[in-house]
Amino acid sequence: MQTVVLGTSGTTASDVVAVARQNARIELSAQARSALATSREIVDALAAKPDPVYGVSTGFGALATRHISPDLRAQLQRNIVRSHAAGMGPRVEREVVRALMFLRLKTVCSGHTGVRPEVAQTMADILNAGITPVVHEYGSLGCSGDLAPLSHCALTLMGEGDAEGPDGTVRPAGELLAEHGIRPVELREKEGLALLNGTDGMLGMLVMALADLERLYRSADVTAALSLEALLGTDKVLAPELHAIRPHPGQAAAAANMLRVLAGSGLTGHHQDDSPRVQDAYSVRCAPQVAGAGRDTMSHARVVADRELASSVDNPVVLPDGRVESNGNFHGAPVAYVLDFLAIAAADLGSIAERRTDRLLDKNRSHGLPPFLADDAGVDSGLMIAQYTQAALVSEMKRLAVPASADSIPSSAMQEDHVSMGWSAARKLRTTVDNLTRIVAVELYAATRGIELREGLTPAPASQAVIAAARAAGVQGPGPDRYLAPDLAAAEAFVRSGGLLHAAESVTGPLA
């Protein structure tokens, strides 16, 4: 099993994915333990002084004006966790909870939060035991961090609330901790606040969305190339010299990918009559431009994610010179913007893929393919309703592309009067990524059928490899009408698992 070692810095996106999705074990480095101990000494020293310090000896948010006496401070820290664990709605996915817990632990280990080493170790122990707190869909405004989601995680740390065990059963957290020999923590000054105040949920979802979109964008290049073949399109528009004069790196990468998939094709440039094809429709000809713009958007989002991974998001923070200072670094705007930007780009990629699918099914625009790619059009409906399903997914993606980060709603008696809505941006991006997977799967289904209906013409070796792998995975080829949902589910699984990409790359080598 992979092990991720947490220091005071250096956490990577691959570390997040490994812990969230692959159950990698977590170890705290000696450096992290030392930093934790040093910052805690600073907090303990401030707690012993009569002067009020936010988060150490005061209330929180709009209640920060009250000085809290030493005998009430442990209760204060417990209370903030209990009161802030106020989420509602469906449970959040296990991988999201593991990502946000891991990222909060990453910040705790930075030595800027004042949390004791034993609290950090308990967080690691819970993750390593496969215990997952129950976190709900609604409760975060993306400012002061993802408060409610992180509070539900901190509640488990205290042995309270509900959590899911490694067997998938939801039970009282205290029981699960006891079974794994984990002692619940008793929070001290600042620790409750430090466990709640970060952008960890939205960042975790950003990191995982980027991992998924990287695969999906390459997969979409493959299906765009297959559609171009099925439509007897020209690959001349993919020539590198054409993309060099508009030097967007993502565009060049997408065009190069398509060209590699189409290498050796006997379908490109053919026509069903004597009229030469001057140029293809935008959905075919501009595929690299649209996919490339999305790729460049992802590049920007990766920069933001990497910066956030290098950050210590808390309020207040413990500085090396011994100060504990309030700040606004918990505001989720940087992450929220790119989450929304990715949803916009993904919606456009899904939209252009649907237009190619529709073209494949329309006998007036498909250059000789049967209506709806049906076996006996009129008796058979072919892929007519598969395109309806794809269109419905695209329509939802367009609605999900409306930015959450353009909204704000005041809270905490107007103390928190401008919020990022980054958690909401992340949640809708997850739906967008799922929808894009299905849209690419429908295009794959239509394009492979279209290629196989071009009798007498030989597709590219990479296309042949994709078709063979898809058929082996249960994605059936042309024929009379049949129950279509299982075929589409098989196509979705083929795309989601990376099977499509693996099949193409078995001929082309790694695509960009």
Beta-bridge mates of residue 380: 377
* 388 tagged catalytic: no
Task: Yes or no: say if 111 and 27 are a contact pair by the CB < 8 Å rule.
Answer: no
Say if strands 317-318 and 324-325 run parallel, antiparallel, or are unpaired: antiparallel
Task: Yes or no: say if 233 and 425 are a contact pair by the CB < 8 Å rule.
Answer: no
Crossing angle between the packed helical segments 117-128 and 94-108, to the nearest 10 degrees: 160
Gap between the Cα atoms of 404 and 383, Å rounded: 35
SS3 224: helix
Q: Using only C-alpha atoms, what is the Rg of the chain?
A: 26
Q: In sequence order, what are the residues at sequence separation of 6 or more whose Cβ sits closer than 8 angstroms to the Cβ of residue 63?
A: none
Place of tokens 């988060």: 55
What percent of the residues of the chain are helix, what percent strand, and what percent coil, each to the nearest 5?
A: 55, 5, 35
Place of tokens 């092990």: 3
Q: Which of 136, 128, 175, 129 is nearest to 152 (CA)?
A: 136
Catalytic residue among 54, 138, 337, 445: 54
Active site residues: 54
